[in-house]
Structure 1
Amino acid sequence: MLRKLLIGVAVIATLVAGVGTARLVLPRTDPTSGVVKQLAFLRAEIEGGADRAAQQQYPEGYFFLNVLYGLTWVQVGLADPARSVDADAEARWALNRLESADGTAPFDASLKPQYGVFYAGWVNWLRGGLISLKHSDAAEIDKFSSESVEIATAFRTSKTPFLASYPGQAWPVDSIVAIASLRLYDDLVAPRFGQIATNWVAASKKQLNPATGLLPHQVVPQVVGARASSQGLIQRFLVEVDPAFAQSQYKLFKERFVTSVGVREYPKGVGGTGDVDSGPLILGMSLSATVVAIGAARVQHDPLADRLTRQGELLGLPLTGLKTKRYLFGALPIGDAFLAWSTSARPLVADEQPKQDGGSTWWWLPWLLALWLPALILWGFVRRVRRRRGH
């Protein structure tokens, strides 16, 4: 019985090691198809109330689940023009949900821009993404123009480059998304807001965190040093605003936060606890920051994106069916939404960036060792049992 049990466990360990090896080293033939399957899973989850459930767990749970669903469809439609009509319909469906009473409920309508810079920036970025699919009418473009003017006016009249997302609360990352949406307007409609973006970059450079040289995590009600849960998003959008500034910031981000196994929430050498932004920390690593960093690496043309994606395929326990794909058994749809958005990330404004050095091409060797060592040990026990029975 012991021998049969050992053989069974060894076979399972070998299969796990084989599947893991394939996910780590085999070519990824059509990543878009996997993202489309994730979107099918997310659509069903949202229709089943997953966005409202997420709102009970996270301050922007409803918003993020819908906006990332729509933005991922935009990215899929731009990558594959044959899907652009479907992408337009699905992204528009998500936008309608964001503009509903449920979408605006967590935000303050008295802020400038209306509902705060977080809400206004992401919605404007999604609306611009829709227009980039080239199925929008004049009314849609007029709406994009009026909301871009509202955002631009708020920045022009503000004494700080970082506008409020909630009364008395401001995070630089939220303003970056809004400024990126103005850059997208200039690219899609007409040059109009370039000086505002230039002024914003100049003002932001004066408020870099002294310890890291990066933009801070939060500025109101208190200044909080750089953290990866916001840096991943900052690096994703900053390239759309100012590619040269983005390149220097991304280099610092990698030096201070990226490790061989993931992305730290706090800079190397600095400890801290997890919270609603970072999620639980494992040896200082943030799963959410690691996922978002995939998108940042993709728009920076950094092979790090492929490495992090492959590690996610290994550790995320993906379940792929004929029509859907989910991670961690579909237990956290908002995590699937961030992953789909990140793994399909592409610049909407910026040109393709120069390819960066990906570091060692043997990064997967420790992972293979971790995968195969248990199987080899188990087969060693099987061999010993056989020898003992032989005596």
Structure 2
Amino acid sequence: MVEPLQLLNEMPGGIGLQFQGEWALYSCSMLAESLSNMAELYPETKDDAVATIDSLIQIVKSPELRLYDKLRWDEDPLESLEGDKSHVSYLSHLAWMIGNYRRIGGDNKYKQLHDSVCEAMNRRIQQSPLLNIPTYPDEPIYVPDMMVAIVALSDYARLNDCKYSSTVKAWICRSKTEWLDNKTGLLVSFLDDNGMRDTPVKGSYAALNCYYLTKIDAEFANEQYDKLKIHFRQSFPATGIREYHDHSCWLGMDIDAGPIILNLSPSGTAFAIGAATYFNDIKFRNSLLKTAEIAGHTVKWNNKRHYLLGDIALVGEVITLAMRTNYRINNLRYCR
């Protein structure tokens, strides 16, 4: 655990303040998810996991980490919960982390904050005719960002007598009927103000959507995972997820996908490990992990393992850990 400013400085400087904030936020939330996964797999680690997630929440609550969202919305996300501006990127990850903290045995120190954040997200989502709210002003709706909010509300519902479960159910229902790409059958990556966008589905977004769906609706997640493999899977020269299903990209760069090499999306390939783990798709999972090893290169010392690539992109190492530990322990995590 480090000070918030030091964590932000660990993010690549060339990506700019906004993405440094986003990557730091993801690093914290995905580590919290990893720890909660492992606490359920290995109950003897719960006490340490609760303490570490507590520290991660403190980092995310800090003014330094909130700054990226504050600058985009011209107001602080935690000081404006009574307002109507979205702030969905920051608030959803914070709520997801608190949900994990409470779910594995943390006390009620964050309960009031959890209540307030989830009430604000639910109210803002319900006020939107689309049941979707933008990550930032004057930008499209990023579906994976919205899905974090739905996961967070789903976890909150399990802890609070199914409160807000109606929002989760309504969002999933509309996603199955209104927000599927005509060509692939996958959830779209973006939505505009009218509820649809012609931009092609991105492999990184589609794989991330599959992962989040495993925490909300296992059947729908499985359907999406099958479609992901049909349209985005690549087996040669290395197994992984393509960033684009409709054209090749032998060498490119995408702020979300990372460096695209031989068509493969680093982010999409890592996120696919989460669904492969959940559905016990062992052969494909092993192939994905081989690709991750080629790209990340594990080093070992003192009984510890570390991806050298994590020295460049810490968030990638943390995401991979969350995906590797996404085992199916409970059938569904939302109220019926």
| TM tier, smaller | 0.7 to 0.9
CA pair 274-219 structure 1, distance change in 2 beyond 3 A: farther
**Following the alignment from structure 1 to structure 2, what is the Cα–Cα distance between the partners of residues 211 and 343?**
30
Identity %: 22
Cα deviation for residue 57 of structure 1 reads: 4.0
**Unaligned segments of structure 1, at least 5 residues:** 1-42, 353-391
1:150 deviates by: 1.6
User: In the alignment, is residue 335 of structure 1 matched against residue 316 of structure 2?
Assistant: yes
Provide the rounded CA distance (Å) in 2 between the counterparts of 1:136 and 1:307: 40
TM-score by length of 1: 0.72
Name which structure has the greater RCO, CA cutoff 8 Å, separation 6+.
Answer: 1
Separation in 2 of the partners of 1:315 and 1:65?
A: 19
Query: Is 1:192 the equivalent of 2:201?
Result: no
Deviation at 1:223, TM superposition (A): 4.7
Structure 2 unaligned blocks of 5 or more: none
**Greater Cα offset, 286-295 or 111-120:** 111-120
Alignment of 1:33-72 (within 5 A): 43=1, 49-54=6-11, 56-58=13-15, 59=19, 60-72=22-34
CA offsets per residue over residues 133-157 of structure 1, 9 Å max, x none?
11222x4333322322221111111
For 1:147, the equivalent position in structure 2 comes to 117
Counterpart CA distance in 2 for 1:322 and 1:329 is: 19
Q: Distance in 2 between matches of 1:310 and 1:181?
A: 31
Report SS of the residue matched to 1:105.
Answer: helix
Q: Which amino acid aligns with 1:281?
A: I
Of 168, 175, 179, which residue of structure 1 is paired with 2:150?
179
The DSSP-based 3-state class of the residue aligned with 1:106 is helix
Q: Indicate if the aligned counterparts of 1:51 and 1:66 stay in contact, CA closer than 8 A.
A: no
Provide the residue aligned with 1:259 in structure 2: 234
Give the deviation of 1:163 after TM superposition: 1.2
Higher strand fraction: Structure 1 or Structure 2? 2
1:219 aligns with 2:196: no
Distance 1:213 1:150 in 2: 31
Match of 1:325 among 283, 305, 328: 305
Q: Write the distance in 2 (CA, Å) between the matches of 1:329 and 1:277.
A: 16
Contact 1:125 1:180 in 2 (8 A): yes
Q: Which structure would you say has the larger Rg?
A: 1
1:206 matched to 2:163? The reply is no
Match of 2:266 in 1: 287
Whole-Å Cα distance in 2 between the matches of residues 149 and 265 of structure 1?
35
Q: Which residue in the other structure is 1:274 paired with?
A: 253
- Tell me the matched-pair count: 307
Mapped to 1, the partners of 2:5 and 2:36 lie a distance apart of 22
SS of 1:241's partner is: coil
Assess, with a 3 A threshold, how the Cα gap between structure 1 residues 314 and 225 changes in structure 2: closer, same or farther: closer
TM-score normalized by the length of structure 2: 0.83
Secondary structure of the 2:318 match is helix
- 1:117 corresponds in structure 2 to 88
Q: Which residue of 2 aligns with 1:135?
A: 106
Aligned to 1:345: 326
